[in-house]
Chain A
Amino acid sequence: MKRMSWASLLLACCVFLLSACAGGGNVNQKAKGDFSAGMVTDTGGLNDESFNQITYAGLKRAQKELGIDIKALESKRDEDYVPNLTKFARENRDMIWGVGFKIEKAIADVANQFPNAQFGIVDSDMGGKIPKNVTAVTFKEEEGSFLMGMIAALSTKTGKVGFIGGISSPLIKKFEVGYRAGVHAANPKVKVQVAYAESFNDATKGRSLAKAMYDGGADIIYHAAGGVGKGLFDEVKTREKGKYWAIGVDMDQSRLAPDHTLSSMVKRVDVAVFNVMKAQQQKKHKAGKLLQFGLKENGVDYASTTTKHVKPDVLKRVDEFKQRVVNKELIVPATEADLKQFMQS
């Protein structure tokens, strides 16, 4: 043991020395440009084909149209959120985005530590306690999912549709509840099967669940399950065209199965972050509050490719309801309790 330990000890010293030699580099340099933004992803990473990627698209648009300097940092683990946010804060970036509800506590901490920096969080209302220098952005996923529910209920031939969720959480619950409400509003006789994979990346589980649902009589399945949802598309592709359908989420997922994708619920995080930064650049933005993006704000919607497979009369009905939601004549439920009430009235 002795010999080895000494070896390692010396070794560690060398590592330190090496790093000391390497030191003195470029720390704390001020970001270029008159407005700069940073973005910290959650553990999904930058190209997750979901909210991280859409947020980054918004930043890139801002870079192009508003000429701002952008940079992104990926988080490998939950513990990385705080240091990543801190890095941007020390660079004095004008707007620092944290993407995903998992970052909310880290944002609260870092925002408190850097009261002069501006932060934004996507997909979280911070539990109602939004610090003065934080802008919280959430989406009314239930409204978008409501439209998906309507499309499913009006398009089903079997009278049975499905929903596959990722890990049980309030966010995913919003998708489920909105979807069920939409189905109910369009045709209360249509049955909805609901299952949670308790994972966001096990595509095998997604495929098995989809298979079980299709075999059990459902012909349209909507998912809010990240990578698990890929399994849904894998399954539907093997089935008869025009008979079995999948509905995508977050981005337009029709490219995953062009002939089997009925619609996708798109979440325009890009629009939201772009608008916030534009207002900031023009000094018209007020932080410390919650911005909610629903159908009215074009924050959620059905994908443009929806017209390809959904019948015009179905889409007409859907648009009618969409207008009612926009006009606030119809409130879409977001929780199980609200849904119960919704179904009774």
Chain B
Amino acid sequence: MLDTLTNILSTTVIYATPLILAGMGGLYSERSGVVNIGLEGLMTIGAFTAVVSTLTTGSPWLGLLFAVLAGVLLALPHAVASITFKADQVVSGVAINFLALGLSVYLVKHLYDGAGQTPVVENKLNAIAIPFLSDIPVIGPSLFKALPTTYIAILVVLISYYLLTRTTFGMRLRAVGEHPHAAETAGVSVVKMRYVAVLISGALAALGGAGLSIAIGSEFNQGTVAGQGFIALAALIFGKWRPFGVLGAATFFGFAVALTLTGQLFNVTKYVPSEVLSMLPYVLTILALAGFVGRAEAPAAVGKPYEKGSR
């Protein structure tokens, strides 16, 4: 019984980690007033870059670093298009998704002799056990013997919470997303804040993608991210654009997936086909949203390009 619980919990953690990171990425962008449909693409480019640079440099930590850089780099066109050129933010996000998947698979084929996937990363990020804490039953093995990206994700949530609620930077960021004109009047550069936010968004989403390819998995192909960026987007909205909300929503989703996977090991499939079981996380999310969570208020200025002096 305890084993099962440990199991469910560690699967939850594995599944939730990339969603938390990408969801937090989306949070920065959207709290500043820029919709980020491009999370999927940013995760993809992160996953791709992490594998290629780990293969080249031999160090997965450098892989993470380059993934973050690539995420920032790919977020840049989104920022330029949606902030400077005032393009529709959804449109440019969709373009980012196309761009990332196209570019990464194109490069994989080019770099690896037409292959559909990269070679396997030998030197990847492995689980790190935290002394003492990892000996606690149930939560020890799942939470404190986790992949480095999991710790990073939790740190990101904590730091972001602090940043957003306790610092001037956070206050400005939120102001820009809620009342850009008031913020501008108060001397905050809306454009600058939004650029910073979108670039952070790219960095974090790419980190989430890198976690998929060099921590949980060990290669990149076009199915590596497979919709998780969209789930992260859902987690962001589910979590009401708040750091702990994102953490909770991503964990909830991971938990639902863990239930379906563990359920199979207890022969639940004798009564319910496994395809139906696979629907469970999505159905549960809908029920949770419809039943308990309800109305979600997006940042007021989200999706609206900022025009100086106009309303």
Q: Which residue of A lies closest to B273 (CB)?
A: A168
Of B60-68, B90-98, B187-195, B215-223, the one with at least 4 CB within 8 A of chain A:
B215-223
Q: Which residues of chain A are near B15, meaning CB under 8 Å?
A: 204, 208
B117 and A47 contact, CB distance less than 8 A: yes
* Segment at the A interface, from B232-240, B259-267, B293-301: B259-267
Set B217, B264, B265, B275: member contacting A234, Cβ < 8 A: B217
Tell me how far the C-beta of B308 lies from the nearest C-beta in chain A, rounded to whole angstroms: 26
Within 8 Å of chain B (Cβ to Cβ): is A238?
yes
Q: How far is the CA of A195 from the CA of B258 in the complex (A)?
A: 13
The CA-CA distance from A31 to B110 in the complex, in Å, is 26
Q: Contact check: which of A46, A49, A201, A212 meets B223 at CB < 8 Å?
A: A201
Nearest-CB residue, chain A, relative to B7? A212
Q: Are B3 and A207 in contact (CB under 8 A)?
A: no
> Which residues of A come within 8 Å of B, CB atoms?
44-49, 168, 193-196, 198-205, 207-209, 211-213, 215-216, 227, 230-231, 233-234, 238, 255-256
A74 nearest CB neighbor, chain B only: B116
Most-contacted residue by chain B among A198, A213, A256 (CB, 10 A): A198
- Cβ of B165 within 8 Å of any chain A Cβ, yes or no, is no
Shortest CB distance B294–A (Å): 30
Q: How far is it, in angstroms, between the C-alpha of A302 and the C-alpha of B48 when the chains are bound?
A: 33
Residues of chain B with a CB closer than 8 A to A204's CB: 14-15, 18, 212, 216-217
7 tightest Cβ-Cβ pairs between the two chains A and B? A201-B223, A195-B264, A47-B115, A203-B217, A45-B116, A198-B278, A196-B274
B interface residues, how many (CB within 8 angstroms): 38
**Known A-B contacts A201-B226, A207-B216; A215 and B3 likewise in contact (beta carbons under 8 Å):** yes
Given contacts A198-B274, A202-B226, A208-B15, contact A213 B217 (CB under 8 A): no
Residues of chain A within 8 A (CB-CB) of B219 are 203, 230
B134 at the interface (CB under 8 A from A): no
Contact across chains for B265 and A212 when beta carbons are under 8 A apart: yes
A255 to B273, CA, bound (A): 34
User: A212 contacts B212, CB within 8 Å?
Assistant: no
- A195 touching B261, Cβ below 8 Å: yes
For residue A199, give the distance in angstroms from its CB to the closest CB of chain B: 8
- 20 A–B contacts, CB within 8 A, in A order: A47-B114, A168-B273, A195-B264, A196-B274, A201-B221, A201-B226, A203-B216, A204-B217, A208-B257, A209-B261, A211-B14, A212-B7, A212-B261, A212-B265, A227-B117, A230-B218, A231-B217, A233-B218, A234-B218, A256-B120
The reply to whether B116 and A47 form a contact with Cβ atoms under 8 Å apart is yes
- Chain A residues whose C-beta falls within 8 Å of the C-beta of B116 in the assembled complex: 44-49
Neighbouring A residues of B258 by C-beta, 8 Å: 208
C-alpha gap A48/B120 in the complex (Å): 13
What's the Cα separation between A227 and B213 when bound, in Å? Answer: 12
Known contacts A208-B11, A212-B11, A215-B7; decide if A168 and B274 are in contact (CB<8 Å). yes
B6 interface residue per 8 A CB criterion: yes
Q: Is the interface of B mostly helix, strand, loop or mixed?
A: helix
The verdict on A230 contacting B217 (CB below 8 Å), with A47-B117, A256-B120 known, is yes
Within 8 A of A (CB), among B272-306: 273-275, 277-278
> Chain B interface (Cβ within 8 Å of chain A)?
3-4, 6-7, 10-11, 14-15, 18, 114-117, 120, 124, 126-127, 212, 216-219, 221, 223-224, 226, 257-258, 261-262, 264-265, 269, 273-275, 277-278
Residues of B within 8 A of A203 (CB): 212, 216-217, 219, 224
**Across-interface contacts of A45 in B (CB, < 8 A):** 116
A238: chain B residues within 8 A (beta carbon): 126-127
Give B109's nearest chain A residue, CB to CB: A47
Partner of A216, one of B114, B212, B257, B265: B265
Cα distance A201–B212 in the bound complex, in angstroms: 12
Residues of chain B within 8 A (CB-CB) of A200 are: 223
> Does B261 lie within 8 Å of A205, measured CB to CB?
yes
Contact A234 B274 (CB under 8 A): no
Whether B223 pairs with A227 at a CB distance below 8 angstroms is yes
Task: Note all chain B residues with C-beta closer than 8 A to A202.
Answer: 223, 226
CB-CB < 8 A to A234: which residues of B?
124, 216-218
Q: Decide if B10 touches A211 in the complex (CB within 8 Å).
A: yes
Complex CA gap A234/B3 in Å reads 21
Please, which residue of chain B has its CB at the minimum distance from the CB of A45?
B116
Q: Are A216 and B221 in contact (CB under 8 A)?
A: no
A344 to B269, alpha carbons, bound, how many Å?
Answer: 22
Distance A223 CA – B210 CA, assembled complex (angstroms): 25
**Central interface residue in B257, B258, B274, B275, by most chain A CB within 10 Å:** B274
Chain A residues with CB under 8 A of B224: 201, 203
| B278 adjacent to A216 (CB under 8 Å) | no
Q: Find out whether the CB atom of B14 lies under 8 angstroms from the CB atom of A207.
A: yes
Known: A45-B116, A204-B14. 16 other contacts (CB 8 A): A47-B115, A49-B116, A194-B264, A196-B269, A201-B226, A203-B216, A207-B216, A208-B11, A208-B257, A211-B11, A212-B7, A212-B265, A215-B10, A216-B7, A227-B117, A227-B221
